Amino acid sequence: MDISFVIPCYNEKDNVRVVYETIRKIFSEKQISFEAVMVNDGSKDGTEKELKKLYADYPDGTLKVVSFSRNFGKEAAILCGLKHTTGDAVCFIDADMQQRPEVALAMYEKLISTEDIDCVAAYQKSRKENFLLSFFKKCFYFFINLITTTRFTPGASDFRVISRRMANAILSMQEYFRFSKGLFSWVGFETYFMEYTVEERLSGSSKWSFWKLFKYALEGIIGYSTVPLSISNVLGILLMLGGLGLLIAGLIISDTVMTILGVVLLVGGLILLMIGITGMYISRIYLQGKNRPIYIEKDVLEGETDGCSR
């Protein structure tokens, strides 16, 4: 199997057939063997029925359909789909035709024709969305890159084609709260960014409200950085230093108010510092709890070769 498609579907009844048939047409024409894993994420609009019909229409093993018992979210659908893939490459693509299968083909061709890359990610240079949303997204990328060591590329989407070894690396990340953009980056490997333009949705509407996006962004920040947990460390030390200064000055010039203020700040700072230290322990428990692999092997060369060792 050359390539597997992972397609999360939530209330996409008018789109699922088109997306599958377009992929089928494009990849069969090129004689690339493929499968599509369509994950129905607890849709309420008859997507499941439509997927079952589609499955009956194409009984040649190129379609797998998984249905969730309720809506678990796109990240869960992607993970589930990925677990069911068997292809040498995996493409993550939405069910609404905003990400064109023709682009997926170009991405796949790039992946197999370039030796050192394991991931081709579609990326938007300019976003077709309102100014405010664009602004908040820019702020998000600036902030998250400031406080994490994992790199987040602005404009890079989840629309990607990855190699089997990278897919396996992502599957080895067992964390419960998943944030794909972070996972793709955290596992490493070379990524090639290919520019593309997002199309309009074929039908239906976006499932991401501003509030949902905001919560998702927080998920990314908390999932990849423990800096917020150590904020009180810094504040505590600053307060303590300020308090100490005031206390000494108050004692020297015999100013009772200043002395008392100094003591209050000193004690407050000390408490904050202690909370920060507790936070450092909690952050370690948190990171350990994620159970991330300690390393990811890209290549292993071992055993006998018929090279020039003679």
Residues in contact with ligand UDP by CB under 6 A are 8-10, 12, 41, 71, 73-74, 77, 94-96, 98, 206-208
Q: Nearest-CA neighbor of 162 among 82, 239, 247, 229?
A: 82
Q: Where are the beta strands (DSSP E) in 41-78?
A: 63-67
CB 121, min distance to Mg ion, A:
16
| DSSP code, position 129 | S
Q: Which does 10 bind (CB under 5 to 8 A by kind): Mg ion, ligand UDP, none?
A: ligand UDP
Using CB under 5 A as the binding rule, whether residue 98 contacts Mg ion is answered as yes
The token duo for 47 is: 């997507």
| Tally of CB atoms within 10 A around 297 | 9
CA-CA-CA-CA torsion sign (122, 8, 145, 119): negative
- Shortest distance (Å) from residue 54 CB to Mg ion: 19
DSSP single-letter state for residue 125:
S
Q: Which residue among 41, 50, 96, 158 contacts Mg ion (CB under 5 A)? A: 96
Residue 124 near Mg ion by CB under 5 A: no
Q: CB under 5 to 8 A by kind: which of ligand UDP, Mg ion, none does 48 bind? A: none
140 contacts 217 by C-beta, under 8 angstroms: yes
* 35 interface partner picked from ligand UDP, Mg ion, none, CB below 5 to 8 A per type: none
Q: 126: helix, coil or strand? A: coil
CB closer to Mg ion out of 50 and 118? 50
CB of 56 to ligand UDP, least distance (A): 21
User: Pick from Mg ion, ligand UDP, none: which does 41 bind, CB < 5 to 8 A by kind?
Assistant: ligand UDP
Please list the residues that pair with 7 across neighbouring strands.
38
Provide the binding-site residues for Mg ion, judged by CB under 5 A: 94, 96, 98
